[in-house]
């Protein structure tokens, strides 16, 4: 069995192993990491051999840590990373380049249709009717997108939302409320088979699925990094946030919204939670907590998106695609039956 795990911001961990009667043997660790002393490699291999094949990642990591020499130095990886690679091997996980990735650019659509499309496209990938896909969204009108488990009345100032013309919609993933205006954010979704994140914790998979965009932002001169659980940030402030949903159909939906040119003062008027977060952080304005990409790069939004797409294509490959009439029809039906209903929007009191 073979497994790989690229540590976000770190090195590649590669493992090969066999199992007999539910026990790991012939374990071999490799990668482009740094490890001192040399004898520590044999110590890690010995620590893994003999472990039960159903051991969880935490148990594997503890065994590796206990087996390391006292003077061992691991650079670019950790015992947890090795454990993740092992679990991926045992679960027959796939890698990015195992797929023919598709690219959908836009179009601008009503916010409620966007919510429905996220579900439809993920389900189509899970069913094998669509290849794994990267979609770059465009927004037709202002919207507040709340997480699956959030309360509308707790998150949104309804009077101010109406004053500024914001629709309120609910997505199928968890996480916090997002403030969307056309041209002021960069939103993308990844629709992939769950095998791509097999063997990873949710925390690991967040950083794993967004590493390509961290690489793209660094190429633009931003000191971007992933801040657990789901924030993309730089030393000057938060850039964006991610959310994820693993569907029973066999697909993972991962989507991210990054601020390009945010009106922080308006955001705090529309989002109630924004006021609480600002208070908790000891700041008076959202502008001091969030640092948009326009400020950090001075580049047009389209140029940043072009760099992102080019980075993804260079790493994993991309073939142009589009939303099919059948997919759009399914989304519109879901708007009628689910996403456009008060029952869905108000599902959390």
d(CA 98, CA 86) in angstroms, rounded, equals 18
Averaged over 340-344, what is the pLDDT? 98
pLDDT at position 285 over 70 = no
Given this model, what pLDDT does residue 111 score?
98
d(CA 125, CA 121) in angstroms, rounded, equals 6
Given this model, what pLDDT does residue 122 score?
98
Given this model, what pLDDT does residue 298 score?
95
Given this model, what pLDDT does residue 287 score?
46
Q: Give me the chain's average pLDDT, please.
A: 94
Task: Tell me the percentage of the chain whose pLDDT exceeds 70.
Answer: 95
Summarised one tens digit per residue, pLDDT across range 189-198 is 999 999 999 9
pLDDT at position 130 over 80 = yes
In words, the CATH class of domain 96-345 is alpha beta
Nearest to residue 244, comparing CAs of 224, 262, 234, 230? 230
Do the domains 2-90 and 96-345 sit in the same CATH topology, yes or no?
A: no
Whole-model pTM: value is: 0.91
Superfamily of domain 2-90: CO dehydrogenase flavoprotein, C-terminal domain (3.30.390.50)
Summarised one tens digit per residue, pLDDT across range 203-214 is 899 999 999 999
Given this model, what pLDDT does residue 201 score?
87
Domain ranges across the chain: 2-90, 96-345
């Amino acid at each position: 069995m073979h497994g790989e795990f690229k540590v976000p911001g770190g090195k590649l961990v590669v493992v090969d192993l066999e199992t007999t009667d539910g026990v790991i043997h012939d374990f071999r660790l490799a990668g482009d990491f740094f490890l001192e002393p040399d004898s520590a490699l044999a110590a890690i291999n010995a620590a893994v051999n003999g472990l039960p094949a159903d051991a969880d990642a935490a148990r594997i990591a503890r065994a590796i840590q206990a087996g390391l020499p006292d003077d061992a130095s691991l650079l670019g990886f950790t015992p947890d990373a090795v454990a993740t690679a092992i679990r991926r091997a045992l679960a027959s996980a796939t890698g990015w380049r195992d797929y023919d990735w598709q690219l959908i650019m836009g179009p601008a659509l009503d916010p409620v249709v966007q919510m429905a499309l996220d579900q439809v496209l993920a389900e189509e990938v899970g069913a094998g009717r669509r290849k794994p896909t990267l979609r770059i969204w465009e927004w037709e009108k202002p919207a507040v997108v709340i997480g699956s488990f959030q309360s509308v009345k707790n998150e949104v100032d309804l009077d101010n939302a109406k004053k500024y013309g914001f629709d309120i919609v609910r997505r199928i993933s968890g996480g916090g409320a997002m403030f969307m205006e056309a041209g002021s954010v960069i939103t993308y979704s990844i629709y992939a088979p769950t095998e791509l994140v097999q063997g990873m914790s949710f925390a690991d998979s967040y950083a794993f699925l967004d590493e390509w965009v961290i690489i793209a932002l660094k190429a633009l001169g931003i000191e971007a990094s992933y801040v657990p659980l789901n924030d993309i940030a730089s030393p000057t402030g938060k850039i964006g946030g991610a959310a994820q949903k693993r569907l029973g159909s066999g697909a993972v939906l991962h989507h991210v919204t990054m601020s390009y040119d945010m009106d922080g003062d308006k955001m705090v008027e529309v989002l109630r939670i924004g006021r609480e977060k600002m208070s908790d952080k000891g700041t008076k304005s959202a502008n001091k907590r969030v640092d948009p990409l326009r400020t950090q790069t001075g580049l047009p939004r389209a140029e940043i998106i072009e760099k992102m797409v080019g980075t993804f294509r260079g790493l994993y490959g991309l073939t142009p695609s589009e939303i099919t009439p059948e997919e759009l029809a399914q989304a519109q039906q879901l708007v009628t039956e689910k996403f456009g209903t008060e029952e869905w929007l108000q599902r959390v009191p």
